């Protein structure tokens, strides 16, 4: 076993620290979410089920967003003969390039915005009426495999029974049945749980950016600045004449990790102490508003920004500005006038029916 800067080597197997940290971040966030679900009277197994459904669309969304809005350093050579141009078209033309093509998710290049959108889509499909439809489709497609598994299980049991002189029933394939509600589950309570737990996962996940030597800011004289090796710098900071090797840069990844930790603590307290004054979904809106505000400000310090096409417009600031306005506007709209009391009463009624429902059916 050897420890390298970017990966762990076990024989011929290389495991990137980036991936290890991301997995730890996902598990930590899911564990906290499962605790919150249990304490609110919900089945925590749905947290792990939702996470399972969120992983693939989350990764696809994270990579796709990066490809659609690549950082400036990858497209600054576009239109210049002899220069590298890794724009959206290049990624799709070199889709299977295992070093830096679209498929190379292990090399970095994952966007938090795409991850959240993709993961949210996966969770929505898990909690909605689409759940059983998708499971039914997969069950049909995998029928030969499921049939074989059940037949092997039956064969083992049959041999064991025959060995003891007992008869065994004839094999009959049983199509797996889903116990998930056909109409799905109410989204908003689970959204609030996600709003509390996601910041913890983000805080841990940002250390993966440090391992990849990315997500740093402009040069600084502050004592907590970090050194960035020349091969990880973007123009014009790769010049060791203008920016010597001991030049310090803002650790944007650390700022965002700290911001996310504070957000996790605050939202955790709100969830436990003030949830009774809020509507379902409010905590998720608070999460969106606070993250959008913080990310918008941090973008001013970043040197590796993603832009919309050739416009030069910062895509992250555009998205976070829109998200903040929408989240803040919804919060104000939901809590103004006399409609809040009626909405809160309906919320509590739906909450009580949802939690009491499973107990009554047992």
| DSSP of 251-263 | -HHHHHHHHHHHH
Return the pLDDT at 352: 66
Instruction: Please state at what angle helix 17-39 crosses helix 187-211, rounded to 10 degrees.
Output: 160
Q: How confident is the model at residue 106 (pLDDT cuts 50, 70, 90)?
A: confident
Work out the average pLDDT over 33-52.
94
Helices (H) and strands (E) in the chain, counts: 12, 5
Q: How confident is the model at residue 353 (pLDDT cuts 50, 70, 90)?
A: low
Residue 353: partners with Cβ closer than 8 Å, 6 or more residues away: none
Q: Which residue has the higher pLDDT, 345 or 321?
A: 321
Return the structure tokens found at 344. Answer: 């809160």
Return the structure tokens found at 180. Answer: 């998930």
Whole-angstrom distance, CA of residue 10 vs CA of residue 176: 39
Identify whether 170 is preceded by a cis peptide bond (ω within 30 of 0): no
Q: Is the pLDDT of residue 141 over 60?
A: yes
Q: How far is CA 362 from CA 39, 49, 357, in A?
A: 20, 22, 9
CA-based nearest residue to 106, from 14, 198, 42, 239: 14
Bridge partners, residue 314, by sequence = 307
Whole-angstrom distance, CA of residue 11 vs CA of residue 200: 33
Return the pLDDT at 328: 96
Any idea which of 26-30, 85-89, 177-181, 266-270 has the lowest mean pLDDT? 85-89
Q: How many residues does the chain have?
A: 362
Whole-angstrom distance, CA of residue 263 vs CA of residue 275: 16
Helix, strand, coil distribution of the chain in percent, nearest 5: 60, 5, 35
Work out the average pLDDT over 208-215.
88
Q: Which residue has the higher pLDDT, 359 or 23?
A: 23
Stated pTM of the model: 0.86
Dihedral pair phi/psi, residue 343, rounded to 5°: -65, -40
Give the max Cα distance, the chain: 86
Work out the average pLDDT over 328-350.
76
- Among left, alpha and beta (phi > 0; psi -120 to 50; other), residue 239 is beta
Intra-chain end-to-end CA distance of the chain, in Å: 52
The 10s digit of each residue's pLDDT in 184-207 is 999 999 999 999 999 999 999 999
The average confidence (pLDDT) of the chain is 88
Return the pLDDT at 11: 67
% of the chain at pLDDT higher than 70: 89
Q: Where are the domains of the chain?
A: 129-184
Return the pLDDT at 130: 95
């Amino acid at each position: 076993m050897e420890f390298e800067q970017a990966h762990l080597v076990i024989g011929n197997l290389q495991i990137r620290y980036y991936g290890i940290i991301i997995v730890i971040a996902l598990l930590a966030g899911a564990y906290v979410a499962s605790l919150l679900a249990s304490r609110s009277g919900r089945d925590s197994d749905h947290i792990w089920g939702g996470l399972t459904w969120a992983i693939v669309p989350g990764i696809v969304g994270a990579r796709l967003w990066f490809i659609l809005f690549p950082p400036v350093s990858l497209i600054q050579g576009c239109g210049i003969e002899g220069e590298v141009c890794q724009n959206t078209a290049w990624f799709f033309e070199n889709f299977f390039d295992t070093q830096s093509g679209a498929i190379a998710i292990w090399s970095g290049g994952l966007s938090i915005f795409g991850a959240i959108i993709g993961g949210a889509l996966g969770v929505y499909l898990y909690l909605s009426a689409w759940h059983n439809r998708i499971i039914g489709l997969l069950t049909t497609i995998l029928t030969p495999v499921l049939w074989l598994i059940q037949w092997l299980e039956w064969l083992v049991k049959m041999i064991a029974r025959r060995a003891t002189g007992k008869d065994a029933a004839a094999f009959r394939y049983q199509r797996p049945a889903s116990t998930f509600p056909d109409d799905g589950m109410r989204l908003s309570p689970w959204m609030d749980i996600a709003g509390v737990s996601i910041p913890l996962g983000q805080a841990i996940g940002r250390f993966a950016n440090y391992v990849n030597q990315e997500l740093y800011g402009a040069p600084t004289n502050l004592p907590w600045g970090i050194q960035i090796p020349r091969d990880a710098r973007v123009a014009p900071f790769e010049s060791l004449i203008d920016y010597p090797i001991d030049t310090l840069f803002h650790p944007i990844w650390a700022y965002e990790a700290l911001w996310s930790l504070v957000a996790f603590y605050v939202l955790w307290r709100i969830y436990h102490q003030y949830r009774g004054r809020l509507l379902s979904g409010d905590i998720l809106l608070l999460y969106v508003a606070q993250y959008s505000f913080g990310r918008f400000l941090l973008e001013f310090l970043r040197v590796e920004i993603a832009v919309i096409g050739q416009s030069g417009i910062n895509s992250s600031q555009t998205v976070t500005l829109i998200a903040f306005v929408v989240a803040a506007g919804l919060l104000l709209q939901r809590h103004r006038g006399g409609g809040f009391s009626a909405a809160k009463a309906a919320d509590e009624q739906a909450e009580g029916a949802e939690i009491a429902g499973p107990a009554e059916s047992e």
